[in-house]
Amino acid sequence: NAGVTQTPKFQVLKTGQSMTLQCAQDMNHNSMYWYRQDPGMGLRLIYYSASEGTTDKGEVPNGYNVSRLNKREFSLRLESAAPSQTSVYFCASTEHLNTEAFFGQGTRLTVV
């Protein structure tokens, strides 16, 4: 009964380093999403995948890439981390168009 699992939970990067945030869901959901949460700004959508094999940009895609590896997994990559990407990142999934989103526990990323 894991739901949406994100790894890692915490990460510190130096400016210019790269890393990949992993997300997996075991609910057989079609759609998956990556959001970032910054103080005073709520959550903002970075990228989403409506179904396996498709990905699209959200509100704040610059500096990120994504891969929908299969129906279960959706990864977020930072190719060259910048301090502005310091944030808490949430992965989410949805089953149908009218159901709620299920969120992972979040990844707290600090870029120094």
Q: Contact positions toward another protein, by CB under 8 A?
A: 30-31, 33, 35, 40-45, 48-51, 54, 56, 58, 88, 90, 92, 94, 97-103, 105-106
CB of 18 to another protein, least distance (A): 25
Instruction: Give the Cα separation of 52 and 31 in Å (integer).
Output: 8
Q: Which is nearer to another protein, 1 or 98 (CB)?
A: 98
CB of 80 to another protein, least distance (A): 26
Q: Which is nearer to another protein, 24 or 92 (CB)?
A: 92
CB of 88 to another protein, least distance (A): 7
Instruction: Give the Cα separation of 109 and 112 in Å (integer).
Output: 10
* 49, 56 Cβ separation under 8 angstroms: yes
Who's near 99: CB < 8 A, 6+ residues apart?
Answer: none
Instruction: Give the Cα separation of 109 and 89 in Å (integer).
Output: 7
Q: Which is nearer to another protein, 25 or 94 (CB)?
A: 94
